[in-house]
Amino acid sequence: MCLKKMKLAVPILIAILPVRAAHAQRPCCGGPQPLTYWQLPENLNDLVLGYPPSTPATFTATVELIPIKLVFSDGNVSLDPTQPTCTTGTSALQLISNSPLFQPAPFFSNGQYLGTTQFIDAYQHANLGSAISASNHLLFNYRIYGSTSSDHVPSQVLVVPASEGFARPAGCSAAGVVSFSLLANFVNNIFPDLPANTIPVFLVYNTLLNKGSRASPLYEGGEHNYSGILGGPYAFSHFIDDHSIFDGIVSPPLSGNSSDVYSLSHELAELALNPHNNGTSPAWGNIGQFTGCTSVFEIGDPLSGVGFAQYLNGFTYHLTDLAFTSWFFREVPSQGVGGSYSFMGTLTAPASHCP
Ligand SMILES: [Zn+2]
C-alpha cells in the first residue's frame, strides 16, 4: 500500500526557477533467482518473500532500480536520480545503492544486536525472534536498469506538463510534484519487457507523487503493488535530499525522519512482507497514516513518519520503524525481540481493536 498521504494545506503556485540538478553497475550473481515465497501462518493468503523462516538458507531477490528523470515543463526544471545531488555530489541512485537497504550495516532492535546485515533482513529477524533460523536470510541485490545493452530503454525521461505537476525551488535543488497516473502510464508504456524474476523499483528524485487531483491532492513518497502494471511485485519511490524541501507544499510537514531513503525503506519492507499486496489482518486504525479502520497488512503504515538514522558509507540514511507481525495479529506475548511490537520499540502493545 501507499506511504504517507497528506492533504495540501494551501495550493500555492510559486514561480519556478531553473535548477541545477554514471551509472554504477553491479553485475549480479549469474542471473536473478525466481521470486520465492512462504505463507504467513497468521494469514494464509499472505505470501512473504523468501524461504520459510525455519529454512536455514538465504534467498536473494534482485531489485531492478529504474531511475526516471522528470522534466517539469512549467519551469524547465529537471529532477534526475542519476545526477549528483547538490547536497552530496553523489547521485540519488548511488546513495540508494550504497544504503542499508542493499548493503550490510550493524542493526539493533529493542536492545538486541542483530548482527551486520541489510535492514529488511534485520527487521525480519527482530520480527520473528526465535521463530526464524539464524541462517535464514532475505537479502536484496540490485541491478540498475539501462546498464546493459540488452535493456530495452526507449526513454527514462518523463516530461511533466504543467497540468500534471509542478516544481519549485527548495533547498539547493527543487521540490517537484507529479501526478501518479502520469507516472504509472509512462512506466506501463515504456517498460513492457523488464527481465523476469526481478522486482522493478521506479525511482524519482525530490518529488512527491500525487494520487489525488491538483485541487485535492493526496501525496505519497512511494507505493508498492502487484501485477497491476508489470505482472509481479513492483514499487515506486522517491529519494529526497531532505524532508524540509516539501515544507509549504504538504501539511503537516514531513517528519524529520522522512529524508533520503525513508520512503524506499517503507515500500521495500512492505513489499517483502506483503509482495502480492493482498495480505490482510484484523482491523486496526487511527494510528500512523490511517484515520479510521483498515485491514491492510502493511508493516510501515502504522508508523508513518517514525524512523531512525543509520550512518553507512559516508552518509546518514533515514529508515522507517516497522510494525511486527505480532502487532497486527495481537499476539501476546509478541514473538518479536524484547517482546516488543515494532523494530524501534515504538509500538509496545498489540494493535487496538478498530472501531
Ligand atoms: Zn505503506
295: Cβ contacts below 8 Å, ≥ 6 apart? 280, 281, 282, 283, 284
CB 329 within 8 A of CB 42: yes
β-bridge pairing 173-179 and 207-210: parallel
Instruction: Find cell 534482485 and name the residue.
Output: 62
Q: Where are the domains of the chain?
A: 37-278
Ligand 1 centroid–CA 58 distance in Å is 25
State whether the Cα torsion 61-49-186-260 is positive or negative: negative
Ligand 1 centroid–CA 300 distance in Å is 5
Ligand 1 centroid–CA 258 distance in Å is 13
Give pTM, 2 decimals: 0.90
Helix (H, G, I), strand (E, B), or coil: what is residue 265? helix
Ligand 1 centroid–CA 222 distance in Å is 8
Ligand 1 centroid–CA 220 distance in Å is 9
Ligand 1 centroid–CA 15 distance in Å is 32
* CA–CA separation, 225 and 236 (whole Å): 9
pLDDT per residue, tens digit, the chain (355 aa), is 444 333 333 333 232 322 222 223 334 456 788 899 999 999 878 899 999 999 999 999 999 999 999 999 987 899 999 999 999 999 999 999 999 999 999 999 999 999 999 999 999 999 999 999 999 999 999 998 876 656 555 568 999 999 999 999 999 999 999 999 999 999 887 766 676 788 999 999 999 999 999 899 999 999 999 875 566 899 999 999 999 999 999 999 999 999 999 999 999 999 999 999 999 999 999 999 899 999 999 999 999 999 999 999 999 999 999 999 999 999 999 999 999 999 999 999 999 999 9
CA distances in angstroms from 282 to 189, 269, 330, 338, listed in the order given:
37, 20, 8, 23
Residues with CB under 5 A from ligand 1 (ion): 1, 3, 270, 298, 300-301
Count CA atoms closer than 13 A to 355's CA, side-chain side: 1
